Amino acid sequence: MSNASLDWSNLGFGYHETEKRYVSNYKDGKWSEGELTSDPTVTLNECAGVFQYAQTIFEGLKAYRTENGKIVIFRPDLNGERLENSAKRLEMPVYPKDKFVEAVKSVVKANADMVPPYGSGATLYIRPYMFATGPVIGVKPSTEYQFRIFTTPVGPYFKGGAKPITIKVSDFDRAAPHGTGNIKAGLNYAMSLHAIVTAHAEGFDENMYLDPGTRTYVEETGGANFLFVTKDGTVVTPKSDSILPSITRRSLMYVAEHYLGLKVEHRPVRFDEVKDFAECGLCGTAAVISPVGKINDHGKEICFPSGMEEMGPVTKKLYETLTGIQMGHIEAPEGWIYEVC
Ligand SMILES: *Cc1c(COP(=O)(O)O)cnc(C)c1O
């Protein structure tokens, strides 16, 4: 597809095939020299481990066009590190994070004409992933894997301003204690699909999952971490071993403390504290922050003072500062921005 046919501001979040993707195969205990290919298809044996026992992990990040026309990526070293941790937990081979960063840069560079223009609000989404390709029928890790990275242009997450969303406290669990909640694995998403389809059918935008052990602490949503602001302006994010460590959330905490001079707390958050917070947002690569206006707990509503019309004031400052850093008009902390070309 040529970029001339794309209407950047109306792209949405979907798959548009781009010219090149990166592929490296793992066999006989080592990774092949990775390469860029034009072939978007993957052909696998019917017994591949990914089909039988769901050995598959992924990452998600974006390439941005800055004001001066450069293409940059945001903290890809942290995605590389997280993919290493995901691989270890599912007994998959580690794809070294330095090679990961180089691979991400090469695939973005090869699709540079698909990085949307500055100011369009659109970005090039990057999806690195790894899956078991070797045949497995007895339950054990595969001995062969493929690591792949494709890119797809995505539209602005918020069209016409960030309207707060309504979420429900889910009766389903996202992750078991001591399970796989803290890694980015497809299996965590497969079992969240019924919960999100159910929530949508009931008119909610997202699910809030509580800790499955006691149902008293806030965990996260299906694909984003929570961020709360107290009435006196402290930024609070839930801590738990089964929450996926969001890079956006970690970056926002740094911005809150070092750019905005706010107090920050990363600690277990009881669900019964939530009604006392002034603002609530969901953080992840896709939206940076989605403001939450209302939480429905089995019919009982928690309405944040920031309301259903716009982001709360602290959430907005955080959003503007981090997106300013990503787009290159606010100076970034050392090592956050990787220039591709
Ligand atoms: C990817 C993901 C996030 C967000 O992480 P970012 O690094 O900020 O994009 C949050 N929760 C879950 C479950 C995720 O898979």
286-316: per-residue pLDDT in tens? 999 999 999 999 999 999 999 999 999 999 9
Does the pTM exceed 0.85? Answer: yes
**Residue-level pLDDT at 184:** 98
CA–CA separation, 21 vs 128, rounded Å? 10
Cα(292) to ligand 1 centroid in Å equals 17
**Element (H or E) spanning 130, and its range?**
strand 123-132
**Residue-level pLDDT at 338:** 98
Name 46's Cβ contacts closer than 8 Å, sequence gap at least 6.
none
Q: Which residue has the tokens 């990775």?
A: 34
Mean pLDDT (the chain, rounded): 96
Per-residue pLDDT, averaged over 152-167, amounts to 87
Nearest-CA residue for ligand 1 atom 13 is: 223
Are residues 150 and 138 in contact, defined by beta-carbon separation less than 8 angstroms? no
CB 285 near ligand 1, within 6 Å: yes
Q: Token pair for residue 307?
A: 């309301």
pLDDT band for position 9 (50/70/90)?
A: confident
Phi, psi values for residue 234, rounded to 5°:
-85, 135
pLDDT band for position 156 (50/70/90)?
A: confident
Q: Token pair for residue 141?
A: 């890790």
Is pLDDT of 153 > 80? Answer: yes
Work out the number of other CB atoms within 10 angstroms of the CB of residue 39: 9
Is pLDDT of 141 > 80? Answer: yes
Is pLDDT of 2 > 80? Answer: no
Per-residue pLDDT, averaged over 56-63, amounts to 98
Displacement of CA 223 from its chain's centroid (Å): 6
Percent of the chain with pLDDT over 90: 92
Q: Which residue has the tokens 């259903």?
A: 308
pLDDT band for position 241 (50/70/90)?
A: very high
184 carries an active-site annotation? yes
CB 247 near ligand 1, within 6 Å: yes
Question: HSE (CB half, 13 Å, CA atoms) of 281?
Answer: 30
Per-residue pLDDT, averaged over 145-157, amounts to 94
Q: Which residue has the tokens 């400052």?
A: 317
**Residue-level pLDDT at 1:** 53
Percent of the chain with pLDDT over 70: 99
Q: What is the DSSP letter of 217?
A: B
CA–CA separation, 332 vs 228, rounded Å? 23
Is pLDDT of 6 > 90? Answer: no
CB 224 near ligand 1, within 6 Å: yes
Phi, psi values for residue 249, rounded to 5°:
-60, -45
Per-residue pLDDT, averaged over 125-131, amounts to 98
Are residues 229 and 314 in contact, defined by beta-carbon separation less than 8 angstroms? yes
CA–CA separation, 118 vs 132, rounded Å? 38
